[in-house]
Structures are given as C-alpha cells and as structure tokens.
Structure 1
Amino acid sequence: MRALLVVNPAATTTSVRTREVLTHALASELKLEVAATEYRGHARELARRAAEQGSVEAVIALGGDGTVNEVVNGLLEHGPDPDRLPRLAVVPGGSTNVFARALGMPNDVVEATGALLDALRTGSERLIGLGHAAGPADSRDAEVPARWFTFCAGLGFDAGVVGRVEAQRARGKRSTHALYVRQTLRQFLGDPQRSRGTITVERPGEEPVTGLVMTIVCNTNPWTYLGNRPVYPVPGTSFDSALDVMGLTSLSPAALTRYGTQLLRSTPERGVHGRHALSLHDVPRFTLRCAQPLPFQLDGDHLGVRTAVTFSGVARALRVIV
C-alpha cells in the first residue's frame, strides 16, 4: 500500500528520535512518503494534494487533534467519497489526542504505531461519520469557509477557553491539562456573557431553544480527557450517529460547580443533566445563533468569533484504518 505520512514536527509528545523509529516501522509495511508540516494549514494542503492526485491509498497523520483535523479537511476538500478517497490513519502525538483515543487507539505513540501496523496487516478499517460546520446564508459574519470536524465543536464558553490556551501556547507555554484548568477559571471570571445566555438552537420543524450561555457539539464520545479521565457531556454520542448537543442556560458559580462535577463523574451512560442543562441526541442538522459574536472552535482549534453556525452530521463520510 502506498501511504503519505504527514508529520507535525512540533507535536507535543514525540521527539525526533521517536518519529524516526516509527517512520522506519511504518516503511517496513508501506511504500511510504514522508512530509513534515512547516506552517499552519500545511497538513491540509498535503492531504488535499494526495487526494486530488490519487497518489496514495492512505494518509497517516502524526500529531495532535489539530493535525488530524487539517488532514481530514484536506482529504474532504471536494466532499466525502470514501470509496475513492485515501483512507485516514492516525498516530497520536499531541497532548490529548481525543480523536485517536475515541477510535480505540492507544495514547502512547509507540503502542499506537504497533496497533496501526496490526490494522494494516489485517486490513482492519471502519467508516465513520463526521461533523460539518458552515455559516448560514443569513449570517452577519464575514464569509468564512465551511469546515469538517472529527469529534467536537463549541460556540461560547468552551471556545473561549480554547482561545485562551492558544494564546498561552503562542507565548511559549506547553499544552498541559493544568493549563486548560487555569484558563477555564480565567474564562469564567472574565466572561461577561456567562450570566445571560444569548445562544439559540434552531432545528428544522422544532421550536427554537433560547437563552444558552454555552454549547458543545459532539460527533463522538468522549468530548475530551482530563489526564486519563474521559469526559462525556451527552450519553450515546457515536461516530455512527448524527451530532449531539449539550448546552447550559447558566454558568453561575453554583451551576459551574454542579455541572463541572457532573462532567468529571460522567460516563457513557450518564452525562450532564438538570434544570439548566440541554441535551440533544442524534441531530442531523441545526443552527446555533447568538446575539453578538462569540468564540468558536472545532476539534480544539480556535477559529475566531461567529454569530451563527450551521452544523450537519454526515454519516459514513470517511474510511479510517483502525
């Protein structure tokens, strides 16, 4: 099999030596081309070129969730076509690696490489659904490109946390779970919208749900990890169903304590629940709309601010080696 290995040399948990060893291991089973990313968006360009040229049967992303997201968007530049497009494979190299772990991959880069080699030898793969986000036709936002996501999106509070973390990383801070916790507290103290929700969920044929202060859109479970602890906002979320939505109408100190505790104790069967909590399961299409621009993120990548985003769950969009 011909394959392209897209390597993020800035991946948090891999060294040059580790990348050399796993590259050699993959080359023993594949006709392997290796390309290192040089700037943000480069992984997308590499994957797009590979898909358009039909030069490989698989594209392997070595990096964190941001690298994986870029590769997925490159592969699906012209839309999903799993029978024609290269397969996706992932070797986790980031700090959290939600997508790889949701697929059942080990979080250790060496163990994950071994698991990938086993999957290649046995031909193990699966079709997964993806999320798609685009600006609705009546949006007040400047025109922004549509984008695919693999495991989560957010409008409001959690996206603000992601933006704060990215700002800290740009100053040289390492991406750690402690950094996320600190920035969550700072976002809580500095968010003027947490006491009056302005986000509305609009679904075809349904009454709008109004007054949300934060929204999380999930394509699979878990939503994220705190260390090795998985976090499940909505039970039953899966790559095999459409999208799920968790929203809160209050982020008072009492509500933050209550729902934060629920997230920490969540399981695949029990997520966030209560008077101020909204849970929607298996929703194929909906729009999040807000009264003023709010932070927006996809797969942990901060994308600025938006006043409206339309989401779609696309079944069987991509073939993954796993």
Structure 2
Amino acid sequence: MRALLVVNPRATTTTERSRDVLVRALESAVDLTVRYTERRGHATTLARDAAESGIDVVVTLGGDGTVNEAVNGLMSAPGTLTGLTGPSAYRLPALAVVPGGSTNVFARALGLPENWVYGTSVILDGLRDGRHRVIGLGRADDRYFTFTAGLGLDAAVIRRVEQARLRGRTSTPGLYMRSIVGQFFTGIERSDPPMTLERPGEPPQTGLGTVIIQNTAPWTYAGDRPVDPNPDASFDLGLDVLALRKLKVYATAKTVTQLAWRSGDPHGKQVVRLHDLAEFTVIASRPQAFQLDGDYLGERQKVHFVSVPSALRVIC
C-alpha cells in the first residue's frame, strides 16, 4: 500500500521529533512518501497529485485547515485509483487524519483521539485491518468542506482570530470569546440583517444576520466541550443550518447562553434551524465574511451549498 504523508510544519501540537516518530510508525505499515506544505493551498496540490499518481492513502498531519486543503485536492482529482464509476469515495484514495492543530474538529467528530500519538495508533490499526468509513461532504460553490461553513458573524470572528494569531497571539477559547464580543459590538450592522436563505420549493428565510452550516456534529469545541447547535447533523445526512435573525443584544446573548449551557437546543424567534438539506443558496445584500472548516476565505454575497453524499473514505 502506497501512502503520502502531508505535513504542515506549523502544526501547533507537534514537534520535529514527534513528526519523526510518526513517519517511522507509518513506514512500518505502508510504502510512505513525506511532503511538507510550504504555503497556503499547497496541501491541495500535493493531495491532487498523489491521487493522480495512484496513491492509496493520503495522511495529513496538521489542523482542520490542512485537512480541508487535502480533501479539496482529492475531490478535484480524476478517479484514477480503481477505474470504477460511482461515488468518489470508491474512486479516490482514502484519507487518514493525524490531529496536529489546536482544535481538530474533523478528527474528533470522526471519533479519533485528540492526542496525535493515540490518533496515529488508531490509523495504523485501520490501515492494517482495512477499516474505513464512508462520509459525505459539503460543497460551497466549487470548494468542499468537511464539518462546517459560515457566513456573517461566525466567519468574521474567525477573521479576527486569524488576525490576532498573525500578531503572535495563541489560539485559545478566551481569544475566541474576546473576538466574538469585539466583533458583535463593533464589527457588524446588527439592525439590518443582510442575508436570505433560499431552498428549492420552499419559501425563503429572510433577514438573517449570520448563517452557520454543519456537515456533522458537533459544530466546534470550546476547549474540551463540544458546542452543538444541531446535534442531529451527520456525515451520513445532508447539511444542517443554524441562522440568527436580527442580532439584538438580548436575543443573541440568550442564544449564546443556550449553546453554552444547553448545547443542542438553541431556540427563540430569532433562531432558524434546518435539518438534512440537499442544497440551498445564501444571498446577501452586501459582502459577508465567509469561512470553511474554520478558515477565513474573504467575503461573499452569494454562495450555493450542496450536500455531497458518499464522497470520501476515511481511515478511523
């Protein structure tokens, strides 16, 4: 079995020594090639080239951003592994994820241990036993995501966090909370929600101030605690949505409290929750911050979302 290990050398929870240990462990199970990412988007190129060359498994060591890039590389490659038709999960290399970032939502949603050592052990067992899981993905226009997407407030918060990290700040729950408060009170127009969600054959949901999309549960983690506005979201179903209407202080604080203390049960007049959607479009009257899998991707005024079933095989 041939495998490519894609390493993000800036992964926050690993060291050069630990990466060497991982390489030796994987070499005991597969014919391994190791490549290091050099820039944003590089993992996409590496994974696509690996798929086109007939690699059996792509392993990532990094955070959710590295995983997202590798997934997009695999999904943009022609199905060269077996020559079969049908869902891409059976035509493309499998994916294995070694958690190396600060949050690792995707790996944890798959049930993998957060610690990279234990995660590696699970992956090695899966490779040796031929064990995998087939999952669905989300697609936003022409880019895939594994666990979440967002327009509006949550994406703007991620933008703030990324800017703080560029200034040397460490990604912590406290940094996210301060970014939420700062963005909410100074960075958005709360009285004029600009977004509309349109579904085929359904009346539009208008006047939305933020839209969060889930491809699985939980949505994210606050330290060790899952934050789960749509607990029925699943890799095996369509996309789930949590949207908020006018971002008034009291109503938004109430929803945040519900998420913090009654995870999975946000409710109220300002809350829109939709389950197992095959496709929908979000349209905004002015540009909105946009994120996929926790990476800020600029601003958008229109994004078409699609659920892609049986998209990927994952070793877990």
Q: TM-score range by the shorter chain?
A: over 0.9
Q: Distance in 2 between matches of 1:123 and 1:148?
A: 25
- The one-letter code sitting in structure 2 at the alignment partner of 1:179 is L
**Contact kept? 2:286, 2:301, Cα under 8 Å:** yes
Match of 1:243 among 193, 216, 239: 239
Which residue of the other structure, out of 167, 174, 177, is the alignment partner of 1:171?
A: 167
Secondary structure at the aligned position of 1:82 is classed as: helix
1:17 matched to 2:17: yes
RMSD of aligned alpha carbons: 1.2
1:300 to 2:294 alignment: yes
In structure 1, which of residues 125, 142, 146 is the aligned counterpart of residue 132 of structure 2?
Answer: 125
Aligned to 1:206: 202
Distance in 2, matches of 1:92 and 1:103, equals 11
**TM norm structure 2:** 0.95
**Cα pair 1:225 1:231 within 8 Å, conserved:** yes
Matches within 5 A, 1:15-164: 15-54=15-54, 56-78=55-77, 81-134=88-141, 146-164=142-160
Q: Give the CA deviation at 1:191.
A: 2.6
> Which of 278, 281, 292 lines up with 1:287 in the alignment?
281
Task: Give the conservation status (yes or no) of the 8 Å contact 2:88–2:310.
Answer: no
Structure 1 position 233, deviation (Å)? 1.1
Deviation string, structure 1 residues 234-281 (Cα, Å, up to 9, x no partner): 1310000000110011322212221111111344xx332111100000
Where structure 2 has 5 or more consecutive residues not aligned to the other structure, the ranges are 79-86
Structure 1 residue 122: Cα displacement: 1.7
Deviation at 1:78, TM superposition (A): 4.0
Code of the residue aligned with 1:28 in structure 2: it is: S
Of the three residues 164, 180, 183, the one matched with 1:184 is: 180
Distance 1:78 1:285 in 2: 23
Q: Please report the TM-score for the alignment, with normalisation by the length of structure 1.
A: 0.93
SS at match of 1:273: coil
Q: How does 1:217-232 map to 2 (within 5 A)?
A: 217-232=213-228
How many Å separate the matches in 2 of 1:192 and 1:126? 40
Q: Which amino acid aligns with 1:307?
A: Q
Q: Does 1:316 align with 2:315?
A: no
- The secondary structure found in structure 2 opposite 1:237 is coil
Size of the aligned set, in residue pairs, is 308
C-alpha displacement at 1:82, in angstroms?
A: 1.8
Which deviations, in whole Å up to 9, do the C-alpha atoms of 1:144-187 show, x marking residues without a partner? xx100000000000000011111111222222222111111111
1:223 deviates by 0.4
Q: What SS does the aligned partner of 2:211 have?
A: strand
* Amino acid aligned to 1:124: R
CA contact (8 A) 2:218 2:231 kept: no
Q: Which moved more, 1:111-120 or 1:289-298?
A: 111-120
Amino acid aligned to 1:34: V
Q: What is residue 8 of structure 2 aligned with on the other side?
A: 8
Percent of paired sites with the same residue? 55
> Contact conserved, 1:44 with 1:73, CA < 8 A, in 2?
yes
Consecutive unaligned residues in structure 1, runs of 5 or more:
135-145
Counterpart CA distance in 1 for 2:30 and 2:301 is: 45
TM-fit CA distance, 1:194: 2.1
Which residue number in structure 1 is paired with residue 83 of structure 2? none
Secondary structure at the counterpart of residue 19 of structure 1:
helix
Q: In structure 1, the residue corresponding to 2:90 is in which secondary structure? A: coil
**Separation in 2, partners of 1:217, 1:57:** 31
**8 Å contact kept, 1:232–1:266:** no
> What's the CA shift for 1:219?
0.3
Kept after mapping to 2: 8 A contact 1:162/1:302: yes
Q: Identify the residue that residue 233 of structure 1 maps to in structure 2.
A: 229
**In structure 2, what is the Cα distance between the partners aligned to 1:271 and 1:70?**
32
Q: Is the 8 A contact 2:63 2:101 kept in 1?
A: yes
